[in-house]
């Protein structure tokens, strides 16, 4: 399948293949759903979460170099990344047991 994803700065062939496999077929679709939803699609498709890949995707959609993410912006993106990953991570057996008896913190 031909895709224009690699025409977006910071998106190489491997990332483009992963996005396509995750249901994001082209640059228009990526721009329409945004970096967070695209990253969730990647995780749902089995990609292991990695913070650098997450913020690179954000920088790509802004047309910025991948290493332009710094300071407060990077800190804010880290918090968003952690929340996205946490929402998709299965509970450990201990967390599930604590939830069952109402002892785990939300």
Question: Residue 72's pLDDT band (boundaries 50, 70, 90)?
Answer: very high
Is residue 96 over pLDDT 80? no
What is the C-alpha separation between 72 and 21, in angstroms, rounded?
Answer: 32
Residue pLDDT, tens place only, 6-17: 999 999 999 999
| 89 vs 32, residue with greater confidence | 32
Rounded to the nearest integer, the mean pLDDT of the chain is 90
Count other Cβ atoms within 10 Å, centred on residue 105: 4
Rounded to 5°, the CA angle 73-75-77 comes to 70
| pLDDT score recorded for residue 105 | 60
* Structural domains in the chain, sorted by start: 5-100 (1.10.150.20)
Residue pLDDT, tens place only, 15-67: 999 999 999 999 999 999 999 999 999 988 988 899 999 999 999 999 999 99
| pLDDT score recorded for residue 36 | 96
For the four alpha carbons of 36, 39, 44 and 49, in that order, the dihedral sign comes to: negative
pTM here is 0.79
């Amino acid at each position: 399948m031909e895709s224009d994803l690699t025409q977006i700065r910071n998106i190489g062939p491997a990332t483009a293949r992963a996005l396509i496999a995750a249901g994001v077929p082209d640059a228009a679709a990526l721009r329409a759903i945004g970096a967070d939803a695209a990253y969730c699609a990647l995780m749902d498709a089995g990609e292991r979460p990695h913070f650098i890949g997450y913020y690179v995707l954000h920088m790509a959609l802004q047309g910025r170099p991948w290493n332009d993410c710094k300071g407060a912006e990077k800190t804010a993106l880290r918090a968003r990344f952690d929340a996205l990953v946490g929402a998709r991570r299965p509970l450990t057996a201990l967390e599930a047991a604590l939830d069952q008896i109402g002892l785990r913190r939300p």
